[in-house]
Amino acid sequence: MTLANLENLVLINKLKVEPTDQYEFDGMVSAAKIVCRIHKSKDYQRAVSLH
C-alpha cells in the first residue's frame, strides 16, 4: 500500500493517524533482529532442511 493510499484512508476517516512511539518502534526492530539471527543459525537451517 502506498503512502497516498494511506492518506486517502485518513481523509475518509477509515484510518486514524497516531503519534509515533519510539519505544514501540525500537521493540519491533529488536524483534526483527532476533528473528534474523534465528533464521541464520545453523540449528534452524538444519531443522528446516529435515522437513
In the chain, the number of structural domains is 1
| pLDDT of 8 over the 70 cut | yes
Between CA 22 and CA 41 the distance in angstroms is: 29
Between CA 30 and CA 33 the distance in angstroms is: 5
> Mapping DSSP to helix (H, G, I), strand (E, B) and coil, where does residue 21 land?
coil
Between CA 29 and CA 2 the distance in angstroms is: 21
Residue 49 lies in a domain: yes
* Spatial contact of 17 and 10, defined as CB atoms under 8 Å apart: yes
Residue 12 lies in a domain: no
Query: Residue 29: what pLDDT?
Result: 97
Residue 40 lies in a domain: yes
Residue 1 lies in a domain: no
Residue 50 lies in a domain: yes
Residue 31 lies in domain: 19-51
pTM for this predicted structure? 0.55
Sequence-distant (6+) residues with CB within 8 A of 15 are 6, 9
Residue 48 lies in a domain: yes
- Average model confidence (pLDDT) for the chain? 90
